[in-house]
Amino acid sequence: MTTTTSTLDSIHQQHHGLTADQIARVILSCVLEPGDSEAGKLVATIGAYATVQAIFDTEDDPSTAQLRERTVPRFSSGNIAQALRAATRHGATLITPEHPHWPTRMNDLADIAPVALWVRGNSEILTDEKTTAIVGARAATGYGEHITMEIAAGLVDRGHTIASGAAYGIDGMAHRAALASGGRTIAYLAGGVDRFYPAGHDALLTRIAEAGAVVSELPCGAAPTRWRFLQRNRLIAANSSSVLVTEAGWRSGSLGTASHAATLGRPVGAVPGPVTSAASAGTHRLIRDHAATLVTNSEEAAEL
């Protein structure tokens, strides 16, 4: 096969500013699912370009057989070129480890670190030292939204950047409060940054792209899936200095973000709610069973 050489030459002709490593990472972001540890281990060991060669130009190596089986059917030079054109059309910037705005905290993910990030907005925000992730239930109550708004606004006043996942409920309120307070906010998506999701947050995400940053490890055109949502949570946790869950049910996906944060050594906080409220069962569980710090206001959130 000459997949690597021909694709690199073709992309170089259209995108002269990209290095060989960047092009290799574009290819990997198009053919890998987020959190592929086998590919991540290869990239960490031999580099992105050599990983692409190992996958596509070496058919008889048994050590990469399973990786080839997962990725080769997804390879199309046309799709990769299309993803790059869409990124240009939507003003998305490719951020790789050689870029000055690469968030080095992502490196703590080791073998499951993203191979690249696609960013709409101000990518420099990804390097903000004081970044607090505020996450929680989609089916938020008035109490949950109120406390999220107050804490997010208070953190912005203290110079914190607010990160979240742009979902309905708590996530959306965290972003809105940050914007309303004139702060910086980062939204992490589970699909391409060219297709804002959820659709009901199109206007919100447009505002975030103008005043903050909308980020994904998936290329333009990629659709969100359940697996991609779960893996997106590790990015929120990794590139935050602390994670706060303001309201969450017993099975809330935000508990996964808290779990990633704890694994990475990030401080985790949780806001208590009424003991009769099922919407706060998850935050109570974090405080009781997982050593989360009890947080009731922005001052305590900042102490994390």
CATH of the domain at 269: 3.40.50.450
Q: Are residues 190 and 262 in the same domain?
A: yes
Predicted local distance difference test score (pLDDT) of residue 299? 97
Q: Tell whether the model's pLDDT for residue 1 goes beyond 70.
A: no
Q: Are residues 295 and 163 in the same domain?
A: yes
Q: Are residues 61 and 140 in the same domain?
A: no
Over residues 162-172, the pLDDT tens digits come to: 999 999 999 99
Q: Are residues 221 and 290 in the same domain?
A: yes
Q: Average pLDDT in the 262-276 region?
A: 97
Q: Are residues 193 and 60 in the same domain?
A: no
Q: Which domain holds residue 70?
A: 3-89
Whether residue 218 is contained in a domain is answered as: yes
Whether residue 95 is contained in a domain is answered as: no
Predicted local distance difference test score (pLDDT) of residue 9? 63
Q: Tell whether the model's pLDDT for residue 12 goes beyond 70.
A: no
Whether residue 96 is contained in a domain is answered as: no
Predicted local distance difference test score (pLDDT) of residue 58? 75
Q: Are residues 48 and 129 in the same domain?
A: no
Whether residue 259 is contained in a domain is answered as: yes
Whether residue 104 is contained in a domain is answered as: no
Q: Tell whether the model's pLDDT for residue 94 goes beyond 60.
A: yes
Last residue of a domain, one of 32, 65, 89: 89
Q: Are residues 147 and 68 in the same domain?
A: no
Whether residue 37 is contained in a domain is answered as: yes
Last residue of a domain, one of 38, 66, 89: 89
**Count of domains for the chain:** 2
Whether residue 94 is contained in a domain is answered as: no
What is the per-residue DSSP string for the chain?
--HHHHHHHHHHHH-TT--HHHHHHHHHHHHSPTT-HHHHHHHHHH-HHHHHHHHHS-SS-GGGHHHHHHHGGG--HHHHHHHHHHHHHTTEEEE-TTSTT--GGGGGGGGGS-S-EEEEE-GGGGG-SSEEEEEE-SS--HHHHHHHHHHHHHHHHTTPEEEE---TTHHHHHHHHHHHTT--EEEE-SS-TTS-SSGGGHHHHHHHHHHSEEEESSPTTPPP-HHHHHHHHHHHHHT-SEEEEEE--TT-THHHHHHHHHHTT--EEE----TT-GGGHHHHHHHHHS-PEE--SHHHHHH-
Predicted local distance difference test score (pLDDT) of residue 4? 61
Predicted local distance difference test score (pLDDT) of residue 205? 98
Last residue of a domain, one of 89, 114, 139: 89
Q: Tell whether the model's pLDDT for residue 2 goes beyond 60.
A: no
pTM, full prediction:
0.94
Predicted local distance difference test score (pLDDT) of residue 76? 85
Whether residue 150 is contained in a domain is answered as: yes
Q: Tell whether the model's pLDDT for residue 250 goes beyond 70.
A: yes
284 band by pLDDT with thresholds 50, 70 and 90? very high
Q: Average pLDDT in the 26-50 region?
A: 96
Q: Are residues 139 and 272 in the same domain?
A: yes
Q: Tell whether the model's pLDDT for residue 63 goes beyond 90.
A: no
Q: Average pLDDT in the 197-215 region?
A: 97
Q: Are residues 211 and 74 in the same domain?
A: no
Write down the mean pLDDT value for the chain: 93
191 band by pLDDT with thresholds 50, 70 and 90? very high
- The lowest-confidence range among 5-9, 118-122, 202-206, 258-262 is 5-9
Q: Are residues 76 and 148 in the same domain?
A: no
